Amino acid sequence: MTQVDTSPILDAEEEARARRDQILKLARWTLPSLVLILAIGAWQAYVTLAEVPHYILPSPALIAETMIKDWGILWPAMVITGRLTLIALVMAVIGGVGLAVAFTQSKWVEMSLFPYAVVLQVTPVVAIAPLLQIYVDSAFVAALLCAWIVAFFPILSNTTIGLKSADHNLQDLFSIYGATGWQRLRYLTAPSALPFFLGGLKIAGGLALIGAVVAEFVIGRAGTGLGLASTLLEASYRFNFGRLYAALILISAMGVLVFALMSLISHLCLYRWHESALKRE
């Protein structure tokens, strides 16, 4: 009986798969870039051909020129908004994780405090910001508290669910071997909660920026000039639409950067062991 050599077929399949993966990897970056270039080109062509006034719709060229010219104003505002976002996110992580651990360790603590966490989540930050501005002397601290309130609940909720999602058979095994509460938390519930926490972190990162921007909008009306949102608001009052769009683009770029950073942290924490991050053939 003659044995058929299938190695050329397998090699051809592997080459086709590698070629397909390379095309997909290239398309993942080139297609969005191409769409962006076409959109900007169409925008510029429409404004130029239709002779649209800059106070109706500024052209991309004008926005780029304004961003370069006003960088001395936009950069400090961007730094303030970035500080607000990152500090609020760190505070949300510390408070959310700490309270989630307390909830899983004591049912009494969860029953006592969880309803108030829900109240903070469902109360619009636009309604809270003016009150904080009255009772807090520093506009930065008031905006920081607003951003923290918005980012806090996803961390708390996701981490609490994750800490409660550990396998019951493993829970019983830890009980049989007499594991302490700290050992159970460190070796069982915390690893099982990590993917849930990282999912909440991605959500909270964007919400922290949204909370910071909304707080700047509300508090910035008093002339505090906090960050990019206050700069955007001031530009709208002065009919400086080039600066307005430049500030808006920088806010969007910060949101993309925050999401990319949170996604990178999630990948680095999970890619070696969790199903959601493992590469599939």
At 51-76, the pLDDT tens digits run: 888 888 899 999 999 999 999 989 99
**Residue appearing with tokens 């930050």:** 125
First CA to last CA distance, the chain? 34
Q: What is the mean pLDDT of residues 81-99?
A: 93
Whole-number pLDDT of residue 261: 93
d(CA 61, CA 241): 13
Lookup: tokens for 209? 């920026």
Residues 212-222 have pLDDT tens digits of: 898 888 876 54
Taking the C-alpha atoms of residue 24 and residue 38, their distance in angstroms, rounded to an integer, is 21
Phi-psi region of 51 (alpha: psi -120 to 50; beta: other; left: phi over 0): left
Q: Is 170 left (phi over 0), alpha (psi -120 to 50) or beta?
A: alpha
d(CA 48, CA 60): 10
**Annotation: CATH topology of 60-270:** MetI-like fold (1.10.3720)
Q: What angle do CA 232, 234, 240 make, to 5 degrees?
A: 75
Tell me if 163 sits within 8 A of 100, measured CB to CB.
Answer: yes
In the structure, what pLDDT confidence band is assigned to residue 9 with cuts at 50, 70 and 90?
A: low
pLDDT over 70 at 259, yes or no: yes
Tokens of 156: 């708390």
- Backbone φ, ψ for residue 126 (5° rounding): -65, -30
The predicted model gives 236-262 an average pLDDT of 91
* Residues 83, 87, 91: CA angle, nearest 5 degrees: 170
Please tell me the predicted confidence (pLDDT) of residue 134: 82
The pLDDT of residue 1: 47
Going by C-alpha positions, the residue among 132, 143, 164 that lies closest to residue 208 is 143
Q: How confident is the model at residue 4 (pLDDT cuts 50, 70, 90)?
A: low
Rounded to whole angstroms, how far apart are CA atoms 100 and 160? 5
pLDDT at 48 over 70: yes
Question: At how many degrees (to 10) do helices 71-105 and 60-69 cross?
Answer: 90
DSSP classification of residue 227 = S
